[in-house]
């Protein structure tokens, strides 16, 4: 199929065309990138919600219930929902060992929902880049809310935060000290904190721990504001306006600039029973509104676009460089580093010259 | 202090100089990189052991006990031990919320041990690069075994596998299904599997699950060998010899080429009581010997060196490119992508031209 035909099929709502595109994108196939290139003009409409947290917090159930709540809202029209679940599968085989999960049975057969599990790829930056592209495909295909679920702690969560408009960090009572430690790390990427399994004992102490960690995390933001954060942002706005007609500031990461007014609320849910899920959905709407009002939405969009362009640029620059340098020279330099005749820094200087 | 003086102080065993260097390296300070540049000639002697696994498996205790066993070995001389613990701390403040952990009391005051907790940095590739540089500092300072502990699942573990000579994946009985799922993902980076907390109920079923997952993971390796893995490696060796005098193959990642003969053993430990730890240390020695005999050690070293040089090269190419392009043009292109007038691919093409 021609890329333009393939793109049209996705825009017309063919689930098969969308699924095929996603597979191509995940595999890094040229065809997929061409289709995505055409589809890019139709993206930017979806609200992206990252859902992250430690194992055992019930993230998947929460995603399930959130999707349901968008499909059967208390007020308003049903929204089309996309789900990208980043599976903890093999980095080396590249295949999802768990495959597309047997779950979300409540959503089965609903054509307003599209669920995709993806493998975590081995290459650095690969996971974030792939996820971002899957999300673009869903966005172009008209899915209005896209839930991005990740497992584990650390880098992946930061990448989700950069990708999503609204990031939920999910916790649950009684997961032990080691989990508490992880919590500290991902707390600062949270726009909304969710204590799931809130019918379990220990919910108060989990909430209390979150609250005091939030206070630990807060000083940074306050210091930023105190030391002229607001002013700095305005300066950025004006300098951007000098450079071209209008637009948000450059240079300040979204995380430092658009969040100083938003204090992450802590919500309780019991996902498997649907408790607290409508309230959570409402809070997500509220956060989006905040982003729109504060200019943060455009700023996050800008950050996303820059990350995407920069990633592609890195690849391209490296490929251009690779094709310009004889592999004998490269291998010879690596050999000298291995023999400790030269350092990696000297080697990079030499090779880039 | 002059970089050369600082480097000498590290080589002469000053813990203060080493600690200061590590702080500089973590903060990406130029001074630190200059010192590391000088020290690089003294690296390459340590054996690097990655220790990874899900929260709650008791990794920290295991690292503690392993360090102790190197300090008080049943046979032979005590070895100097470095520990780099990658803390799950804030990606945005850049500081370890937990700070240097209150632990390893058994090792306190032992000058043959150096422990460093590090924050997980926000930038992609940053964590792996920083860890690699801290490890280089310890290596140059004469620490003979370096234990690198990571938490969480996914990308970080893959990076550890690329950095370490020997990677331990730690599990424990009774951590539930969600944890089992993560296990599947990191299983393939394991050189040695450890079932810690082996005095707990369920140890047999954990071990059984690991064994069957290993079998799931194995086909890949077998297929590789069947389809000419060994031959491919030899071909690589010869073509490398054509390019320069001698040396291991290029192009095949270490993970695909040097592991086809090594089947990860499964060991039981009760770390807090020291049970099974000597056996684990012996297995690490055995794995190193295997790497030496099979040529895998040199291959992994080569992979490490290439990753290091490539990372520095990326940075340098990008910086060179950045200084060559007017920021007005860059901002203008980003703006056009945000307005969907152009796609990220077209933008990258345009900017790299």
Q: Given this model, what pLDDT does residue A138 score?
A: 97
Residue B139: the pLDDT is: 97
For residues A38 and A16, give the distance between their C-alpha atoms in angstroms, rounded to a whole number: 18
Q: Which of B128, B182, B321 lies at the smallest CB-CB distance from A317? A: B321
Of B88, B125, B347, the CB nearest to A182: B88
Maximum average pLDDT range among A37-51, A101-115, A181-195, B212-226: A37-51
User: B264-311: per-residue pLDDT in tens?
Assistant: 999 999 998 999 999 999 999 999 999 999 999 998 999 889 988 988
- Residue B302's SS3 state is helix
Contact B351, A317 (CB under 8 A): no
Q: Cβ contact (<8 Å) for A189 and B97?
A: no
Residue A236 in this model has a pLDDT that exceeds 70: no
In this prediction, residue B152 has a pLDDT band, given cuts at 50, 70 and 90, of low
b/e for A138-164, b at 16 or more Cβ within 10 A? bbbbbbbbbbbbbbbbbbbbbbbbbbb
Query: Residue A53's CB: how many other CB atoms inside 10 A?
Result: 29
Element (H, E) at A300: helix A296-324
Global confidence as pTM? 0.67
Contact B93 A247 (CB under 8 A): no
Q: Rounded to an integer, what distance in angstroms lies between the CA atom of residue A100 and that of residue B41? A: 48
Q: Could you tell me which of A231, A236, A228 has the C-alpha nearest to residue A253? A: A236
Q: What is the pLDDT of residue B168?
A: 94
Q: Is the pLDDT of residue B241 over 90?
A: no
pLDDT band at B106 (very low <50, low <70, confident <90, very high): low
User: Is the CB of residue B120 less than 8 Å away from at least one CB of chain A?
Assistant: yes
Angle between helices B327-338 and A229-243 (to 10 degrees): 90
What pLDDT band is residue A323 in, cutting at 50, 70 and 90?
confident
Interchain CB distance below 8 Å, B152 and A182: yes
Q: Say if A44 is an interface residue toward chain B (CB within 8 Å).
A: yes
Kindly tell me if the per-residue pLDDT of A339 is higher than 50.
yes
Q: Which residues contact B135 (CB under 8 A, 6 or more apart)?
A: B46, B48, B82, B84, B146, B148, B163
Q: What are phi and psi of A341, to 5 degrees?
A: -80, -25
* A343: pLDDT strictly greater than 50: yes
B88 touches chain A (CB under 8 A): yes
CA distances from B257 to B210, B219, B221, B234, B268 (A): 23, 14, 9, 10, 28
Mean pLDDT for the stretch of residues B33-58: 90
Q: What is the pLDDT of residue B189?
A: 82
In 10 A of CB A301, how many CB atoms? 18
The per-residue b/e assignment along A71-94, b for 16 or more CB within 10 angstroms, e otherwise, is beeeeeeebbbbbbbbbbbbbbbe
Percent of chain B topping pLDDT 90 = 44
pLDDT tens-digit profile of A264-308?
999 999 998 999 999 999 999 999 999 999 999 998 999 889 988
Cβ-nearest to A152 among B182, B216, B351: B182
With bands split at pLDDT 50, 70 and 90, how would you rate the model's confidence at B320? Answer: confident
Q: What band does B87 get if pLDDT is binned at 50, 70 and 90? A: low
Q: Do A182 and B55 lie within an 8 Å CB cutoff?
A: yes
**What are the CB-based long-range contacts (under 8 Å, 24+) for A173-178?**
A173/A197, A173/A198, A173/A200, A173/A201, A173/A202, A173/A203, A173/A205, A173/A206, A174/A200, A174/A201, A174/A202, A174/A206, A175/A54, A175/A56, A175/A57, A176/B55, A176/B56, A178/B55, A178/B56, A178/B151
Q: Please compute the mean of the pLDDT values over residues B259-264 and round it to a whole number.
A: 74
State the pLDDT at residue B53. 79
Chain A to chain B, count of Cβ pairs less than 8 Å apart?
A: 275
Measured between CB atoms, does A346 come within 8 Å of chain B?
Answer: yes
User: For A217-231, B3-17, B39-53, B62-76, which range has the lowest pLDDT when averaged over its residues?
Assistant: A217-231
Best of B28, B131, B344, B345 to substitute, by most chain A Cβ atoms within 10 angstroms, is: B344
How many Å apart are CA B308 and CA B125, to the nearest integer? 11
List chain A residues with CB under 8 Å of B120: 154-155, 185
B274 touches chain A (CB under 8 A): no
If you average pLDDT over residues B202-221, what whole number do you get?
A: 75
Residue to mutate among B55, B241, B310, with most A CBs inside 10 A, is B55
Tokens of B223: 């297929």
With a cut of 0.90, is the ipTM above it? Answer: no
Element housing B53 (H / E):
strand B47-53
Of A43, A153, A243, the CB nearest to B88: A153
Are the beta carbons of A46 and A82 closer than 8 angstroms?
Answer: yes
The residues with which B52 forms a beta bridge, in sequence order, are B169
Residue linked to tokens 């240390």? B281
Is B154 within 8 Å of A158 when comparing Cβ atoms? Answer: no
Q: Which has more pLDDT, B347 or B90? A: B347
Q: Which residues of B touch A181 (CB under 8 A)?
A: 55, 87-88, 98, 151
Q: Is the pLDDT of residue B116 over 80?
A: yes
Question: Could you tell me if B223 lies within 8 Å of chain A, comparing CB atoms?
Answer: no
Tell me, yes or no, if A8 comes closer than 8 A to chain B by beta carbon.
no
Cα nearest neighbour of B329 on chain A: A243
Say if A78 is an interface residue toward chain B (CB within 8 Å). Answer: no
Mean pLDDT, rounded, for B98-126: 63
CA-atom Rg of chain A in angstroms: 22
- Tell me: pLDDT of B47 over 80: yes
Burial readout B97-106 (b: 16 or more C-beta within 10 A, e: otherwise):
bbeeeeebee
Average pLDDT for chain B: 78
Mean of all residue pLDDT scores within chain A: 78
A1 in reach of chain B (CB within 8 A): no
CA distance B38 to chain A (A): 8
Sorting pLDDT into bands at 50, 70 and 90, what band is A93? very low
A67 Cα to chain B: minimum distance (Å): 21
- B277-316 residues touching A, CB cutoff 8 A: 298, 301-302, 305-306, 308-309, 312-316
Strands B145-150 and B81-87: parallel
Contact status of B11 with chain A (Cβ, < 8 Å): no
- Identify the bridge partners of residue A53 per DSSP, sorted by sequence position: A170
Minimal Cα–Cα distance from A75 to chain B, Å? 31
- Minimal CA–CA distance to A4: which of A43, A31, A26? A31
Residue A341 CA, chain-centre distance (Å), reads: 42
Hey, is B191 helix, strand or coil?
A: coil
Beta strand residue intervals within A109-247, DSSP E:
113-119, 145-150, 166-171, 192-195
CB contact under 8 A, B345 and A37: yes
Confidence band of B334 (pLDDT split at 50, 70, 90): very high
Is residue A176 a contact partner of residue A202, using CB atoms and an 8 Å limit?
A: no
Q: Sheet containing A47-53: which strands, arranged edge to edge?
A: A113-119, A81-87, A145-150, A47-53, A166-171, A192-195, A266-268
- The answer to whether the CB atoms of B327 and A189 lie below 8 A apart is no
The predicted pLDDT at position A119 comes to 63
Q: What is the pLDDT of residue A210?
A: 84
In order of A91, A225, A343, B151, B160, the CA distances from A154 in angstroms are 16, 26, 30, 8, 14
* B40 contacts A344? CB cut-off 8 A: yes
- The Cα of B111 is separated from the nearest Cα of chain A by a number of Å equal to 27
The DSSP 8-state label assigned to residue B103 in this structure reads -
* Interchain pair B184, A88: CB under 8 A: yes
Lowest mean pLDDT among A178-187, A195-204, A240-249, A332-341: A240-249
Contacts of A188 in chain B (CB under 8 A): 90-93
For residue B180, the chain A residues in CB contact (below 8 A) are none
Q: Minimal CA–CA distance to B70: which of B252, B304, B281?
A: B281
At A135-186, the pLDDT tens digits run 999 999 999 999 998 865 566 667 777 789 999 999 888 776 444 545 555 6
User: What order of strands is seen across the sheet that includes strand B81-87?
Assistant: B113-119, B81-87, B145-150, B47-53, B166-171, B192-195, B266-268
pLDDT of A246 over the 60 cut: no
| A255 in contact with chain B, both atoms CB, cutoff 8 A | yes
Scanning every residue of chain A, which has its alpha carbon at the shortest distance from the alpha carbon of B56?
Answer: A178
Asked if A152 and A55 touch (Cβ cutoff 8 Å), the reply is yes
User: What is the pLDDT averaged over residues A106-119?
Assistant: 81
Rg, Å, chain B Cα set: 22
Structural tokens at position B51: 């220790």
Nearest to B107 by CA among B116, B115, B99: B115
Distance from the B75 Cα atom to the nearest Cα atom in chain A, whole angstroms: 31
Best interface-test mutation with B: which of A133, A313, A315, A352 has the largest number of B CBs within 10 A?
Answer: A313
Is the minimum CB–CB distance between B236 and chain A shorter than 8 Å?
A: no
């Amino acid at each position: 199929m021609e890329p333009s035909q393939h793109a049209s099929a996705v825009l017309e709502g063919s689930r098969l065309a969308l699924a095929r595109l996603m597979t191509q994108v995940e595999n890094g196939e040229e065809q997929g990138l061409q289709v995505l290139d055409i589809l890019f003009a139709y993206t930017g409409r979806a609200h992206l919600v990252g859902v992250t947290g430690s194992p055992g917090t019930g993230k998947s159930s929460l995603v399930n219930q959130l999707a349901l709540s968008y499909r059967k809202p208390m007020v308003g029209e049903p929204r089309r929902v996309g789900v990208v679940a980043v599976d903890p599968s093999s980095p080396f085989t590249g295949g999802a060992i768990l495959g597309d999960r047997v779950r979300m049975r409540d959503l089965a057969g609903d054509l307003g929902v599209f669920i995709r599990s993806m493998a975590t790829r081995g290459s650095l930056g690969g996971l974030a880049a792939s996820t971002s592209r899957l999300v673009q495909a869903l966005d172009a295909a008209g899915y209005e809310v896209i839930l991005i679920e990740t497992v584990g702690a650390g880098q992946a969560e930061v990448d989700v935060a950069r990708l999503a408009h609204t990031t939920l960090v999910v916790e649950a009572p009684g997961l032990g000290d080691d989990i508490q430690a992880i919590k500290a790390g991902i707390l600062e990427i949270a726009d909304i904190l969710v204590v799931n399994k809130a019918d379990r004992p220990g919910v108060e102490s989990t909430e209390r721990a979150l609250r005091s960690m939030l206070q630990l995390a807060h000083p940074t933001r306050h210091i930023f504001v105190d030391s002229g954060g607001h002013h700095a942002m305005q300066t950025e706005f004006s300098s951007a306006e000098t450079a071209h007609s209008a637009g948000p500031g450059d240079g300040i990461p979204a995380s430092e600039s658009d969040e100083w007014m938003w204090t992450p609320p802590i919500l309780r849910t019991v996902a498997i029973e649907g408790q607290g899920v409508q309230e959570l959905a409402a809070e997500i709407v509220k956060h989006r509104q905040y982003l729109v009002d504060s200019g943060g939405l455009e700023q996050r969009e800008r950050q996303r676009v820059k990350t995407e362009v920069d990633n592609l640029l890195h690849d391209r620059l490296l490929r251009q460089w690779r094709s310009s340098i004889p592999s004998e020279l490269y291998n010879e330099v690596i050999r000298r580093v291995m023999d400790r005749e030269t350092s990696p820094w000297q080697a990079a200087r030499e090779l880039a010259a």
